[in-house]
Amino acid sequence: MIDFEVPASIQQQVQVVTTLAQSMMRPVARHYDEHEHEKPSDYINVLWEFTKAQTADTLRRAERQAAAGDKQPGRPSIANLALIYTIEALSWGDAGIYLCTPTGGLGGAAVEAVGTLEQKRRLLQRFAEGKPKWGAMAITEPGAGSDTASLQTTARREGDHWVLNGEKIFCTSGLMAAQESEGFVVVWATIDKAAGRAGIKPFVVEAGTPGMKVTKVEKKLGIRASDTASLVFEDCRIPLDNILGSAEVRDAATSKGFEGVMQTFDASRPAVAASAIGVGRAAFEFARDELAKVGVVVPYGLPRHKLTAVQRDLLDMEAQLKAAWLLVLRAVWLADQRRPNTLEASMAKAKAGLAVTRVTQKAVELLGPLGYSRQLLVEKWMRDAKINDIFEGTGQINTLIVARRVLGYSRQELK
């Protein structure tokens, strides 16, 4: 059963991260919004120390799980719980700067989800030492967005190498992962188009590998400090052991290839939801506090019909964020228990994306012209919020996943 008491270690961590968000992120949020793709070097260097410690802990857990063997479920951890509290607090500081955090990112999540112990040691150890570096995941293509099973990037075996060809777009941290020393990109490609989903496999492409080229860095509505890149692979040769999992093509029901995509999303969707809630909380708290200055406060405990329209709006904003947060807690609790959480991860992601969009728009509305003005960060939070309803599976796709799971329909039966 979920224990809603936050462990003391996480409370202490949140205090530290919140102080960092207040002192190092909020004061420069507008600057990095207006100077798109300029990197917050001070923040990166400070967070790198956190990343190194977190990665070392991840590797220790992987070693313990390997030593316990498949028959042992392993001790439940609070690693995912600690992570989402950290992400929420950093995103409360600034979502764009948070996305510049030097980590394995979605690429590291893919390695954790489907990589062997040797691959975890080889690929993740670099995030526990040395200089800041980044990992990324490349899955979306010009003709394959939400329908990831239709991707066209190919990987063929030539001797002791895999050769990749194709194009990927909207790759978060793709520029840094592809160009910075020791970074890497996990590229999802098909080794057998005729096999459909079963032929899709993840491949690790190291930064600077010949044949991988960054062709574009997007100019975006929000999260503007973060880079979002397009990558082209032209006869890009990588070692055979840079495939994550088996190269064997089996039927879709037993394949570990495309299933690895889903396992990665099961881990990352609650994190994205936590980030959304952090942005929403920033907007809600600011609007609440500004309205309190002119005497508008929410008298908790009164029935709704005795509240003003603005008071009801504030109450609804807070309720939306808390409901989304409870879904996030459920999803990460299951992850820490090493139990399946596909349904719960999609629920959290869908709810949080919708909640943050509504809450930030309402904050702008309640503050009127000042909310719309660049004088305040509220309009920026509204722009930063929208991406949370899009990446890691759109709100519509995650709602579809939830419907299939709840109603018991297959992908073919409910599209």
Catalytic site residues? 392
Whether residue 387 contacts residue 342, with contact meaning beta carbons closer than 8 Å, is answered with: no
Longest dimension (CA), the chain: 75
Structure tokens at 53: 């410690």
CB 338 within 8 A of CB 76: yes
What is the distance between the alpha carbons of residues 214 and 309, in angstroms, rounded to a whole number?
50
Distance set, CA 272 to CA 92, 223, 315, 339, 356 (Å): 13, 13, 24, 19, 11
CB 344 within 8 A of CB 331: yes
How far CA 336 is from CA of 74, 341, 405, in Å, comes to 10, 10, 21
* 309 Cβ neighbours under 8 A, 6+ residues apart: none
For residues 345 and 331, is the Cβ–Cβ distance under 8 A? yes
**Residue appearing with tokens 């991406």:** 387
Q: Indicate the pairing of strand 184-190 with strand 135-138.
A: parallel
Q: In angstroms, rounded to a whole number, what is the distance separating the alpha carbons of residues 336 and 339?
A: 8
- Tokens 């239709």, residue located: 150
Token reading at 100: 């510049």
Give the residue among 189, 195, 148 at the shortest CA–CA distance from 165. 189
Reference 172, options 258, 90, 107; nearest CA is 107
Contact 346, 393 (CB under 8 A): yes
CA 163 from chain centre, in angstroms, equals 28
Q: Are 84 and 92 in contact (CB under 8 A)?
A: no
CB 363 within 8 A of CB 381: yes
Residue 196 near residue 149, CB atoms below 8 Å = yes
